[in-house]
Structure 1
Amino acid sequence: MNILVLGSDISGSAREATEQQEATGGSAPQDADTIMLIHVPADRHQIYGISIMRDNWVNIPGYGVMKINAGLQLAGPKLVVATVESLLHTHIDHYVMTDFGGLKAFVDAVGGVDVDVPIPFTATVPFTAAPGTEHTFTQGINHVDGEAALQFVRERHAFVDGDYQRVRDQQAFVRALMVRLLSTGTVRDAASAIRIVAIASFVLTVDQGFDPTTLATLAYALRVTDPAASVFFTLPTAGTGFSANGQSIVLPDYGGIAEVAAALAADRLGDYAAAHGL
């Protein structure tokens, strides 16, 4: 199963914005700060998370070459799904999207998460909190609530390599959330899985086929997954540059992307990860 995880940077409700887009065919004031393809193998023993840099300069079907995160603004999550499917030559079964408020609410609802912070920093912008409430993250395990989690996954200005470290931090957060849900008994039984899905239904935007029953079934099936064995990496890039109109962009490494696509198609991401020391 392939699930595309999206984080909208909208200041309001991503769900309402998406519903409006689908009803009118118009654009919405949201871009994708997080784009991560989650591949769940049939045995469910581990998952693979492939982060896609939001500034990748790629072809967006029907719109031409631009930053991949613009798809969310142009036509909502379905267009981002189509773009990633085209880029990786794969089928995406479902998408899950959240916004600032949704992320905060979900993390608080599960009691916070313990994130292994690789590089210490103090958030440069509080995003949704009052000035002066910027969170400081120390190297190692940090227990974060919803507000701190939001600051952690959004920060890029504090790092020398900006978005690249932000993507690695997003991967660390997803792993920590997996640990919280899978290793603490949160989804160890069907009733608990249904409870988590009930919470998620209020804070996540999903495709129509990803109904609560399907989501609860997957959550329960993932109880055998080992978060420590799961692998996260970033889709290969060829550095950064500028577009003809002066935008700062990330250049796709199409040779590297083809390797990932082939491994994904053959269900051999484990071999790919081993070969690249991931």
Structure 2
Amino acid sequence: MDPNSKRREDYRKHSSLNLHRNHALAADSSSFKAGNMFARFIGVIALLTVCFGVAWAAHMYFTIHSAVDGKNNGNVATSAKISTRQPVSVLILGVDQGIEGRHDRGNSDTLILATANPQKNKATMTSIPRDTLADIKGDPGDKYFMFRVNSAYEIGGSEASMKTVSNMLNVPINYYLEVNMKALRSLVNAVGGVDVNVPFDFSYDWCDFHKGKQHLNGRHAVAYVRMRKEDPRGDYGRQLRQRQVIEAIAHKAMSVNTISNYRKLIDIFNKYVKTNLTFNDMLSLALNYRGCMGNLDSGYIQGHDAWIDGSSIQVAPTAELQKISNKLRKNLNLPAETLDNEETRQNDLNDQNNHVKWDDPQAFTTYRIYEQNADKPAGGSNSGYGENKDTNSGSSTTSSSMSSSSDSLGSSSSSSSKTWKFHW
């Protein structure tokens, strides 16, 4: 074969082989590029998903953060007790502002003292009847008298209520949660309603309730916790129903996981809740105190009916106050202490002078309220509020209005202090 012809034949073979190899390489390159593009696309989608999730979480965090901390003048720090997982106490106050046209501060309708101990994984919830006789505490420079415990709220809001309850039970109170009754209706609706165990059949405010498990919407929940007169246990039965609904809301709220419901809860919090807890406090409570709800000791202060100047009031026996104090202090890791306050002093004086019988089922008619630091009833009346002293002049005047049967209070003021006068 001609050498030139052989070279031409070899060249054609090599060219054909190279062309085949180039096609194969081109195909592999195209496949690689397609796979690489798909991987990049998935990566971008994943990144966008993560970014959206982080953005949503951040938005929710700062929305809730600003909503809560805006109520505390910008205070965002976690309190020392909560950050170190120490036992804490919270006074829950239910108020009626905005319900049935009421816009004045008025008295607190519900008082519940809660404690939580993450070290023991135990919580307590103690209802305090609103008509319980208590030594009212407010501003240090003002003078107060004994009256119904719920009147402390009208004098000085949540702060006065905390001081009064703390003094009555010898228990430190760290925080308060003031909830408008309108919030109850909205909260129940926001979590999709609550389930409660109705103790008996009754109707109230155009709402019907039947014994056994029942699902309540917001309107029915408000009616359920407000009814008192048809309950054979009176205010104590109502307190039990209040605790039922509060516990049910707490459990449902912790399971809410939709954006719309979180927004509803934030809006409700902004409108109807006041507290000295910061957002970081609440976050820490939710994360670190969650186990306490599984071991909840729920109860109330059992008082005795009494009539003072024609008005009904609840007088808590010293033994009952001592029992509650011991239980709460124990859950706060505090030793038991013998109560020594104006409430126990009044009980002692009535034991000595009026021979009250705490086991008598009948309402007391001889219970007296004595002057502070005195062993006789003031002004000769049942109420003992016969004197209203001007703290500047040192003079005293007899106030006949103290024996009024109305349920209000007023004050006389001087340049340095006030003397509050309660009207039965």
Band the TM-score falls in, shorter-chain normalisation: 0.7 to 0.9
Three-state SS of the structure 2 residue aligned to 1:40 is strand
Q: Tell me which residue corresponds to 1:139.
A: 211
Q: Return the match for 1:206 from 262, 265, 274.
A: 274
Q: Tell me which residue corresponds to 1:264.
A: 328
Q: Does 1:2 align with 2:89?
A: yes
C-alpha distance in 2, partners of 1:232/1:203?
Answer: 28
Three-state SS of the structure 2 residue aligned to 1:76 is helix
Aligned positions of 1:155-234 closer than 5 A: 155-182=227-254, 185-186=255-256, 198-208=266-276, 210-227=277-294, 229-234=295-300
C-alpha distance in 1, partners of 2:91/2:136?
Answer: 16
CA apart distance, 1:51: 0.3
State the one-letter code of the partner of 1:233. G
Task: Say if 1:197 and 1:212, in contact at 8 Å, map to a contact too.
Answer: no
User: Could you tell me the percent identity over the aligned residues?
Assistant: 23
Three-state SS of the structure 2 residue aligned to 1:161 is coil
CA apart distance, 1:197: 6.5
> Deviation string for 1:130-168 (max 9, x for gaps)?
xxxx11111121111111111111110212232121111
Aligned positions of 1:75-90 closer than 5 A: 75-90=156-171
CA apart distance, 1:101: 1.3
Q: Tell me which residue corresponds to 2:307.
A: 242
Three-state SS of the structure 1 residue aligned to 2:306 is strand
> Deviation string for 1:8-34 (max 9, x for gaps)?
122369xx97xxxxxxxxxx4421111
Task: Say if 1:193 and 1:219, in contact at 8 Å, map to a contact too.
Answer: no
Give the aligned CA root-mean-square deviation in angstroms: 3.0
CA apart distance, 1:199: 4.5
Unaligned 5+ runs, structure 2? 1-87, 138-142, 337-424
Q: Tell me which residue corresponds to 1:103.
A: 184
Give the TM-score of the pair, scaled to structure 2.
0.52
C-alpha distance in 2, partners of 1:29/1:197?
Answer: 24
Task: Say if 1:111 and 1:145, in contact at 8 Å, map to a contact too.
Answer: yes
Three-state SS of the structure 2 residue aligned to 1:143 is strand
Q: Return the match for 1:45 from 117, 121, 124.
A: 121
Task: Say if 1:116 and 1:176, in contact at 8 Å, map to a contact too.
Answer: no
CA apart distance, 1:263: 2.6
List, as ranges, runs of 4+ consecutive aligned residues in structure 1 with deviation greater than 6 Å.
Answer: 191-197
Three-state SS of the structure 2 residue aligned to 1:262 is helix
Give the TM-score of the pair, scaled to structure 1.
0.77
Between 1 and 2, higher relative CO (CA 8 Å, sep ≥ 6) is seen in: 1
C-alpha distance in 2, partners of 1:100/1:226?
Answer: 23
C-alpha distance in 2, partners of 1:222/1:200?
Answer: 23
Unaligned 5+ runs, structure 1? 18-27, 127-133, 273-278
C-alpha distance in 1, partners of 2:160/2:90?
Answer: 14
Highest Rg: 1 or 2? 2
Count of residue pairs the alignment pairs up: 242
C-alpha distance in 2, partners of 1:222/1:177?
Answer: 17
CA apart distance, 1:177: 2.0
CA apart distance, 1:120: 2.3
CA apart distance, 1:264: 1.9
Task: Say if 1:104 and 1:147, in contact at 8 Å, map to a contact too.
Answer: yes
C-alpha distance in 1, partners of 2:183/2:327?
Answer: 33
> Deviation string for 1:94-129 (max 9, x for gaps)?
111112211111111111111111222111xx2xxx
Task: Say if 1:44 and 1:224, in contact at 8 Å, map to a contact too.
Answer: no
